[in-house]
Each structure stands twice: as C-alpha cells, then as structure tokens.
A and B are shown apart, each in its own frame.
Chain A
Amino acid sequence: MSPRKIILRFGKDISEKPVIYKLVKDYDLVINIIKANVNPNKEGTLVLELTGEKYNEGLEYLKGQGVRVQPLAEEVFRNEKKCTNCGVCTDICPTGALYMQRPSMKVMFDSDHCIVCQLCLQICPYKAMEVRF
C-alpha cells in the first residue's frame, strides 16, 4: 500500500494525548511526520505520510478523538509573480519537483512530486515558494 499524505488539525484537548503513539501501537501504521506545529494556544497542525493495512481504522480512531482529518492537496505552491526563474532551487529540491526547462531556462514546478519538505521555502531568495493548507 502506497503512503498517503494527510493533514491533522486538533485543539488544546488533543495536543496532550499520545494519538500518534496509538496509530503506531494499535493500528500498526508507518508514520512519516512531514510537518508539525503547535501554536501558543496548544492548537496543532500535523502533516503526515501514513502507510499500513489499518489505514482507515486509524483514521476513524483519530476522528473519534476529535481530530479533524483532511487529505493533503497542492500544499506547496509557487507564487508566479515573485518567481524570477533563477533556478537556484532546482538542485536543492530532493524529488525534482522543481526543475529547469531547457532551453528556455524557466523553472517548472510539478506539485505531484512535491513531498512538502519545504527546503525551497527556505532557500528561495525571492520567497516565491509558499505553503498553503
């Protein structure tokens, strides 16, 4: 079964519960945490890549706990107005989602290959790469 990317959002009550531990222990899911953030109000966002036979059961468990679950779609995007097509991101992007079209030397972005590592957000000199949930 191929990994699926999801976004979890939870309130203050959940952030103190070991829900991820339960996903591993009780549902035998392989988890890759792509992004995690808990704000000062203890509300959290978690972007996960999940693999495992009990994927659906795991999701049901999360929903039962009050976690809002949604699939991850077009998370990193390029602000075309800010991008100067310099290309400095193209050898940093680990999956080749950002690449140079030749001979035009324009930067292309194939979001299907993006794993939301967000390296491009850090290194783009013009802050042209943005993340949207």
Chain B
Amino acid sequence: MTSERTYAEINEKIKSGKVVVMTAEEVISLVEEKGVSEAARQVDVVTTGTFAPMCSSGVFLNFGHPKPRIKMQKTWLNGVPAYAGLAAVDAYLGATELPEDDPCNSKYPGKFNYGGGHVIQDLVARKPVLLEAVSHTTDCYPLAEVRTTITLDKINEATLFNPRNAYQNYNCAVNLSDQTVYTYLGMLKPNLGNAHYCSAGQLSPLLKDPYFLTIGIGTRIFLGGGVGYVAWHGNQHFPGIQKDQAGKEYGPGGGTIAVIGDLKQMKPDWLVGTSILGYGATLTVGIGIPIPIINEEVMRCVSVTDKELYAPIVDYGEAYGQREPGNLGYASYAELKTGSVKINGKEVPTAPLSSYSKAKEIACLSKEWIQKGQFFLAEPVESLPSYKDELQAKILEIKDV
C-alpha cells in the first residue's frame, strides 16, 4: 500500500465508508508508535480545529426589498451599525462594530457588552434582530426610513466572510510595565504577573500544514458549525518561519486565511459573541480543516506536537503598542499548557484564550462528518503563498500632510 493518494481517491474512500480519519491529536501517538511512513500509509485524512476570538470576521446580508423600496444608506442591527455602502438592501456587519452610544473605554476598562459579533450570534440563534435603516430617497427608492425586525430565515442571504481568520500562530502576551493592561489577549497583570496565549497548538489547522501543501483556495472546511471554504489567503498573511537572533528556527509564523460560508447553516455554539474587557467586542469562531494525507511529507507536518511548536513572548505593557521589534524569547505550547512558563528567570502563570477542548470537539465532529460520508475534501484551485514567498509586513508611514 502506498502512502501517496489523490483527493479523488480519498473522496472515493469517503463515499464507500472505508476512509481512515484521525484527529491531529490522535495521529501524534500513531506516528510516535509506527513512524511517519507507516502512519501515512494507514491514514487518509487528519482533522484539525481551532476555537478563538477572530476579530476580522463579519457577515454580508441581503435583507430583501420592502414595499415601497428603500436604498438603505445606513443600517443598524440591534443598534450596531452595519456598513451599507453597497447596492440597495445589502450590508456588511463586522464582528468588532459597536453601537454608536457604547461608552467604550471612557469608563476604563470598558465592558463592550454588545457588538457585531453578538448580533451575528443572535442571528444564528434565530433570535429576532431589530433592523433600522435610513436613506436619501430616489425616484426608484422612495422610502427614507425603515424600522422592523428580521430573523435569519426571513432574509435572502447571510454570507459569513471573514477576511483574516485561523491565525497560524500567535504571540504569548505578557506585561513588563508596573500597571495592569487590558489587551485583546485579555487582562495582563503588571511586572510579568501572567502570560496569555491564543492557539490550539498541535490541533491548530495552519500549524499542521505549515507550508500550505494542502490548504489553498477552495479548500472545504468546518466553519462555525457548518461547511465553508477557504476563499483566499487572509489579510496579514505572513507565513514565514520564526527565527531568533542566532538564526535558530522556531516553526511557523503568521499565515492566515480568508474564509467564506453560508451563515444559515451555522450554529450559535460555534460563532459566539465575545466581550473583551478594556478592548472591545468580537466574534469567537470555530474552524476546522481536514488535511488530506496526500504524501509522507504532509503526514510528517500534521504529526508535530506541542513540544515542537512555539509562540513568541511579547511585552504588551509597552513594546507591542509602540511597535518595537523583538521579543522576550519563545515558549513551546507544551510549556504554555502546563500553566506556568519561565520568562526572564521568573515563573509566570499562563492561561489560554483559545479553547483547546472546543478545538478538539471540532476535530472530532469533522472526523465524524467524514466517516459518515457527509463531508468530502476539495482540492485547492490555487495554492496560498508560503514561506517561500518571503512576504513581509509593511509599516504604515505617518506623513506630514
């Protein structure tokens, strides 16, 4: 039996119920026991998962036309503005959008109780959502205002389109300053009081295909409890390999993907409105990418463990905000998951923002879908840029204008 297989062969095995699927966690022990070659011969698909706040998320909506018609120049959903600079009755609701009267951080740290992400969860939960719209009137769109309620099933389309999701890797945040700071990675206590990280590590989709050998445009994925697709590389897709100053490598850096899917298929357990104290509102998204074992190299990549995957440790007390380069070293996800990590000679308590147990559930659910013949693998129509493309982040220059 060969360890090389095509997407068509895998899908044939899914159809006949003979496919062998393992989660990215399960396959680790198989590879440890039998080696990469034998594991690649035995296993057709390895499922992954991640469940964490993903701010670059949102939904394109088409509300349907009322009688008489309205153009809808500005719209609000449960008081949260949705961008309507599109065709009539189309809008895009972003996960981090806030009601215009939210006090934000004027009463520090702000609570950000309700924002775009919460509206998305309410829609998916089939709750009625208040729609308000205003517009200039035209000969073809005579109505100036609308105030009504909508539900997900009563509108034409709701397409989740998240331009930057499923970060390949992320910073482990600490605070070197002498004051508590509130960041998108949570509350960080002063003087290295704690360290927050945000990755599913050995279950995380893009850490398990670090060179983008299988994940590309058109890859079918688990998205928010439904089926979605990789639409493009994500914004800020920088899939380089991390290196310290001495040139030692610390694995994959910061690839991202843009994903798309039908919100109407998704579930509120996997798209959760999120409030981050002192930072903002967002959406926590569940994503899983089944990886086809097309050859041994892919199997070698999916079987890496938390011990071999590293997060850079970054000071959010000062350095991050001031965009100062460098970091305080690297910590493996195995170390981070123990609950304590040594930084600058000090034992620092750690906590994750990404739910490992939910990531595992996603990997298990995807496995079940494939085993039941409900989910087939899609061969990418184009590859995504990889480390070979040497993509670098640009800096926004602030000019005197």
CB-CB under 8 A from B274, the residues of chain A are 125-126
B363 to chain A, nearest CB (A): 13
Query: Among B53, B275, B276, B352, which residue has its beta carbon within 8 angstroms of that of A105?
Result: B352
On chain B, the residues within 8 Å of A125 by CB distance are 53, 186, 274-276, 284, 353
- Which B residues are in CB contact (< 8 Å) with A88? 186, 196, 351-353
Query: Residues 69-89 of chain A: 1 if any B CB is under 8 Å from the residue's CB, otherwise 0?
Result: 000000000000000111111
A130 within 8 A of B: no
A38-73: CB near B (< 8 Å → 1, else 0) gives 000000000000000000000000000000000000
Of A86, A90, A104, A105, the most chain B CB neighbours within 10 A belong to A86
Q: Does A100 contact B (CB under 8 A)?
A: yes
CB distance from A15 to the nearest CB of B (A): 25
What is the 8 Å Cβ interface bit string for chain B, positions 161-191, against chain A (1 contact, 0 not)? Answer: 0000000000000000000000000110100
B272 & A126 in contact (Cβ 8 Å cutoff): yes
Which chain B residues border A127 with CB–CB below 8 Å?
113, 275
Chain A residue with the shortest CB-CB distance to B352 = A87
User: How far, in whole Å, are A92 and B194 apart by their CA atoms in the complex?
Assistant: 8
Determine whether the beta carbon of A123 is less than 8 Å from that of B186.
yes
**Residue pair A90, B355 in contact (C-beta under 8 Å):** no
Chain B residues within 8 Å of chain A by Cβ, number: 30
Q: How far is the CB of A119 from chain B (nearest CB, A)?
A: 8
Contact of A86 among B195, B277, B349, B352 (CB under 8 A): B352
Q: Across the interface, which residues of B come within 8 angstroms of A105, CB to CB?
A: 337, 352, 355-357
CA distance in complex: A122, B52 (Å): 18
- Asked if A90 and B337 sit within 8 Å, CB to CB, the answer is no
Q: Which residues of A contact B349 (CB under 8 A)?
A: 91
A residues near B338, Cβ cutoff 8 Å: 102
Distance of A125 Cα from B351 Cα, bound (Å): 14
B189: chain A residues at CB < 8 Å are: 92
Q: Does B53 contact A84, Cβ atoms closer than 8 Å?
A: no
Q: Are A86 and B272 in contact, with the CB atoms below 8 A?
A: no
Which residue of chain B has its CB nearest to the CB of A90?
Answer: B351
The reply to whether the CB of B243 lies closer than 8 angstroms to some CB of chain A is no
A residues within 8 A CB of B354? Answer: 86
Chain A residues in 8 Å Cβ range of B23: none
By a CB distance below 8 angstroms, the chain A residues around B275 are: 125-127
Interface string of B270-285 (1 = CB under 8 A from A): 0010111100000010
The interface size bin for chain A is 20 to 34
Give Cα A85–Cα B360 distance, bound, in whole angstroms. Answer: 11
Query: Which chain B positions have C-beta within 8 A of A91?
Result: 194-196, 339, 349-351
Q: Which of A107-133 contact B (CB under 8 A)?
A: 122-123, 125-127
Q: Please tell me if B358 contacts chain A, counting CB pairs below 8 Å.
A: yes
Which chain B residue lies CB-closest to A86? Answer: B355
Residues of B within 8 A of A87 (CB): 351-353, 355-356
Q: Answer whether residue A12 sits at the interface, using C-beta atoms and an 8 A cutoff.
A: no
Contact between chains at A86 and B339 (CB < 8 Å) = no
CB distance from A39 to the nearest CB of B (A): 19
Q: Which residues of B contact A84 (CB under 8 A)?
A: 51, 272, 284, 355, 358
A61 to chain B, nearest CB (A): 37
A8 to chain B, nearest CB (A): 27
Decide: B339 and A102 in contact? CB cutoff 8 A: yes
A106 at the interface (CB under 8 A from B): yes
Enumerate B223-239 residues with CB–CB distance to A below 8 Å: none
Give the distance in Å from the alpha carbon of A105 to the alpha carbon of B52 in the complex. 14
CA distance A121 to B186 in the complex (A): 13
User: A123 contacts B187, CB within 8 Å?
Assistant: yes
With A and B bound together, what is the CA distance between A125 and B275 in angstroms?
A: 5
Closest chain B residue to A81, Cβ basis: B269
Check A122–B272 contact: CB distance below 8 A.
no
**Which residue on chain A has the smallest CB distance to residue B354?**
A86
A to B CB contacts below 8 Å, 20 in the list: A84-B284, A85-B355, A85-B358, A86-B352, A86-B353, A87-B355, A88-B196, A88-B353, A91-B194, A91-B339, A102-B339, A103-B337, A105-B337, A105-B355, A122-B277, A123-B187, A123-B277, A125-B275, A126-B272, A126-B275
**Interface contacts beyond A92-B351, A102-B338: sample of 7 additional A-B pairs, CB < 8 Å, sorted by A:** A86-B51, A86-B354, A89-B351, A91-B339, A92-B186, A105-B356, A122-B111
